[in-house]
Amino acid sequence: MANNDAADFDVKIIKWNVVAFWKWIASEEECGICRFEFEACCPDCRLPGESCPMAEGKCHHYFHLHCIQKWIKNVQSKRKCPLCRQDWSYVEDSSEIVL
């Protein structure tokens, strides 16, 4: 068979199964508040992913956005990171995100 003969074949795809995997990328594997993995969602959400995003603080600690929002609203937290007790501020201005 010559190499040119390969172009003579017709291929018909009948079924194609696609598999995908996503993962939040952080230095930690779980939320420092609820201790659920970032691939899962916080206790208040039903589905992981974009509806339950991660939030990163300037101290480089990661939490579910909903978890850190609750933490910050708590008067006793004094707006401090739950892990290192530095003043909490977001790396990106996601503090106004309401989901």
Q: What is the pLDDT of residues 24-59, one digit of tens each?
A: 666 678 898 999 888 888 998 888 777 888 899 999
Instruction: Output the pTM of the full model.
Output: 0.65
Helix or strand holding residue 55 (H, E): strand 54-56
Q: Which residues contact 69 (CB under 8 A, 6 or more apart)?
A: 55
Number of domains present in the structure of the chain: 1
Q: Is residue 77 part of a domain?
A: yes
> Is the alpha carbon torsion for 60, 66, 68, 35 positive or negative?
negative
Instruction: Please report, as a single letter, which amino acid is at residue 16.
Output: W
Domain holding 83: CATH number?
3.30.40.10
The answer to whether residue 2 is domain-embedded is no
Answer whether residue 91 is part of any domain: yes
| Residue 58 resides in a domain | yes
Residue 8 has which token pair?
């003579």
Q: Is residue 38 part of a domain?
A: no
- 79 is in which domain, residue-wise? 54-99
- Residue 82 falls within a domain, yes or no? yes
Q: What are the tokens at 80?
A: 């401090």
User: Which neighbouring-strand residues pair with 30?
Assistant: 37
Domain-embedded: residue 96 = yes
More confident residue, 3 or 52: 52
Domain presence at residue 87: yes
